[in-house]
Amino acid sequence: MRKIRVAAVLLCLLFMCGCANCENGAFGDAGYTVDEVNLEVGLKKPIKLIVVNDLHLQINNDEIAPDQKEFMTNRVQEFTTDGLTTEKRWKKLPALINKEEADYVLFVGDMLDFNSEATTSALRDGVKKINKPLLYVRADHDIENYWQPANDWVKSMERQASISDNSALIVAELEEIILMGVNYSQNDITEETLEQIKEVMGRGKPVIVVMHIPIGQDEGTELQARSEEVRGGRHLYIGRGGEKEPNASTAAFIDMIYAEDSPVVAVFAGHLHAEWEGKVSKNAIEHIFAPCFMNNIGIVNIK
């Protein structure tokens, strides 16, 4: 009888230890810090999103310019966390994503550190293994041929289009909510894209804006302070107080988010390389996710 009791206690302890990271699922078990966001907008059926941003996938091969090889070797080390280069991290990530129950996966920009044949092929091969729908918004690192001998914009765009939808506006309309991805948010929005945004925001459903570059707050200075703190005094966002003055179409888009009758309930972004959450407008939160290369993954529960 005593042996049975001891065995039962040991099993209980093993179960408790094994479940130390259960609430964070496969990602917690793999050592990731899970940034969990809970958003209530009145959905009848809850949905769950997985958020990956700022992976900065690097492959230091002969596509890198000879005079940049040493720099890239050092940069690879800079983006290595817990012994995992971004290349090794990405090889493991699709399997972890597949283990997690979710309705959609969001790639929120700078998944690549530079656009090359090797990096885009590796990203594409991993995406093919993911068993969930994907919305991927790009930023400058996803398209530019940084640290390579020449910049071939056309080829870079072709490579990105081979991974997933590379339109200026990427829309995933779910039963009760819309995920609206603004592609290449480091650039200004065109009049054509603004008209598309107006149409999407007029469909009568709550809208979540997904873009790499954060949007400055309509009121408040918390984001400004956080950006200054973590990025050497810089204001790494667009809109009020941001580094770059937006064109008329981009300013109109931001004003649509600020509006009191806006359908936008949340903005999800990256770029800061640090986590932050606050009110972007009276009716919407903004959540900036910490970078994947530093062992971070986002989970969003929407009810």
Closest CA to 275 of 294, 287, 261, 290: 290
Max intra-chain CA distance, the chain: 79
CB 37 within 8 A of CB 294: no
Q: What average pLDDT does the segment 85-100 reach?
A: 98
Within a 13 Å sphere around the CA of 284, how many CA atoms are in the beta-carbon half? 28
Q: What 3-state class would DSSP assign to 229?
A: helix
Residues of the chain with pLDDT > 90, as a percent, come to 91
Q: What is the pLDDT of residues 178-194, one digit of tens each?
A: 999 999 999 999 999 99
DSSP code, position 103:
S
- Give Cα 268 to chain centroid, integer Å: 8
What per-residue confidence (pLDDT) applies to 15? 35
How far apart are alpha carbons 41 and 191 in whole angstroms? 30
Residue 244's pLDDT band (boundaries 50, 70, 90)? Answer: confident
Report DSSP letters for 68-101, one per residue.
GHHHHHHHHHHT-BTTB-HHHHHHHHHHHHHHS-
CB 187 within 8 A of CB 137: no
pTM of the complete model: 0.92
Pairing of strands 296-302, 285-288: unpaired
Q: What is the pLDDT of residues 105-123, one digit of tens each?
A: 999 999 999 999 999 999 9
Residue 254's pLDDT band (boundaries 50, 70, 90)? Answer: very high
Residue 182 Cα distances to 71, 74, 151, angstroms: 31, 32, 23
What per-residue confidence (pLDDT) applies to 109? 98
Tell me which of 2.60.120.380, 3.40.50.2300, 3.30.750.24, 3.60.21.10 is the CATH number of domain 33-302.
3.60.21.10
pLDDT greater than 50 at residue 5: no
